[in-house]
Amino acid sequence: MFQKALKSLMGAMTTKLLTSVNFWNFQETVQSRLEAIESRIEANESRLNGTELRTDTRLDKSEDRLNMLENPLNIHSGILTTFYHHKNFHHNVINFALHLKKILTISRQIDAILARFGDDGDGGYVIVDDLRSSDVLFSIGVGENISFDKRCEFFVSKVVLVDHTVPNFYPPTGNFEMIRKPLVPGDMPETGVTINQLIDQHPKAEDYILKVDIEGDEWRIFSELNSSQILKFRQIILEFHGLNSFVDLDGKLSVLEKLASTHTPIVLHANNQGSHRFISGMFIPDVLEVTWVRTNSYSFHSEFNEDARKLLSPNSPHLPKIWIDWIDGNPEINA
């Protein structure tokens, strides 16, 4: 009986021992298989990465070959746009450039003292230094840089700032007024404020100064103004945008001709933050700052005047200064 029980106990222990051995063998087998699978996955990932790299290389080479077909000299895209873009050679574009140069070339020098009002760089402008205590300045599009307006404030009765894009900007105390509305054409007074409304709100001024920098909307505003409205401003400091975007060229020329019929440009300054195109032998900047004066309010002479050029400075000091001969004169003469 005892032997039978001992034999049964020994059998159970042997079974448990064999089961334990089989479990560990099974675990080792599973672990080994997992490691083999991971190794294969890594090998596949390596092959995929290699394939992706080869594909990218082939795509880059194909793109280079396509660029060479379109641009056989491998010229930088910016240079291509400036000098060789097909639009630069369109008849209407060349006509626009020639008329732009004719209208804006300064052929007469103003017989008055010029001064820079505002910061060096962006935000400052060269104007006639004749601001009066009876003047009102309308400064349209100010952003948060009002260095020009702060300088003018010392000389005029009121500086009216018009800008709806700076809700968190508040002008300093003094002779400032802030209108947080866009400047709009006369037929849309309910959507903003018009030039006529600004003048009507300040009827006691003996004369008005206008500064406009509204990122391309200036064309729409001035297209609907008539000459009698424009004549209300003794000086107009106007930043033109999109001169080489080639959109509505006839409309832009119409605005320039209208301004030139009552006012004379005395300062031109190409913004070096904008692009330029070479059209019919001359550079046309995309953004151009122009100071206009009411022609019948000043006298002019033909002698060369260096005052304006000495007062100008690049809009961005970190970018190269742009010299355009029909704007800045002959570099050999003015070196």
Residues 157-181 have pLDDT tens digits of 999 999 998 888 888 888 999 999 9
> Do 55 and 95 share a structural domain?
no
Say whether both 69 and 91 belong to one domain: no
Which one has a higher pLDDT value, 176 or 12? 176
Owning domain of residue 51: 1-74
In a domain, 198, yes or no: yes
Distance of CA 170 to the CA centre of its chain: 24
Instruction: Decide if 218 is inside a domain.
Output: yes
Across 8-12, 26-30, 133-137, 307-311, which has the greatest mean pLDDT? 133-137
Domain end, chosen from 46, 74, 102, is at 74
Q: How far is CA 30 from the centre of its chain?
A: 64
Sign of CA dihedral 103, 105, 110, 114: positive
135 shares a domain with 62? no
Report if residue 89 sits inside a domain. yes
User: pLDDT (tens digit, 9 = 90+) per residue, 229-277?
Assistant: 999 999 999 999 999 888 899 999 999 999 999 999 999 999 888 888 9
User: Domain end: 28, 53, 74, which one?
Assistant: 74
> pLDDT tens across 270-284, in order?
988 888 899 988 999
Mean pLDDT of 71-91: 73
Whether 334 is in a domain gets the answer no
Considering the domain architecture, whether residues 104 and 38 belong to the same structural domain is answered as no
Residues with Cβ within 8 Å of 276's Cβ and at least 6 positions away in sequence, in order, are 82, 244, 270, 283, 284, 285, 286, 322, 324
Residues with Cβ within 8 Å of 312's Cβ and at least 6 positions away in sequence, in order, are 116, 126, 267, 269
- Are 123 and 255 within one domain? yes
Domain of 296: which CATH number?
Answer: 3.40.50
- pLDDT higher than threshold 80 for residue 73: no
- Would you say 193 and 179 are in contact if contact means Cβ atoms under 8 Å apart? yes
154 pLDDT more than 50: yes
Of 18 and 157, more confident: 157
**pLDDT tens for residues 95-109?**
999 999 999 998 888
Do 160 and 298 lie in one domain? The reply is yes
Query: What pLDDT, on a 0 to 100 scale, did the predictor assign at position 330?
Result: 62
Mean pLDDT of the chain, nearest integer:
83
pLDDT-wise least confident of 68-82, 149-163, 290-304: 68-82
Examine residue 335 and state whether it is found in any structural domain, yes or no.
no
Does residue 194 sit in the same domain as residue 62? no
Domain count, the chain: 2
pLDDT at 127: 96
Phi and psi angles of residue 239, each rounded to the nearest 5 degrees, phi first: -100, 115
pLDDT of residue 252: 96
pTM: 0.75
Residue 80 domain-assigned?
Answer: no
Residue 102 sits in the same domain as residue 209: yes
- Are 259 and 223 part of one and the same domain? yes
- Asked if 274 and 257 touch (Cβ cutoff 8 Å), the reply is no
Residues 37 and 105 in one domain: no
171 within some domain: yes
**Of 63-72, 190-199, 271-280, which range is least confident?**
63-72
Q: Are residues 143 and 252 located together in one domain of the fold?
A: yes
pLDDT attached to residue 28: 66
**Spatial distance between the Cα atoms of 88 and 184, rounded to a whole number of angstroms:** 32
My answer on whether 259 and 222 are in the same domain is yes
Of 74, 95, 120, the position where a domain reaches its end is 74
* 220 domain residue, yes or no: yes
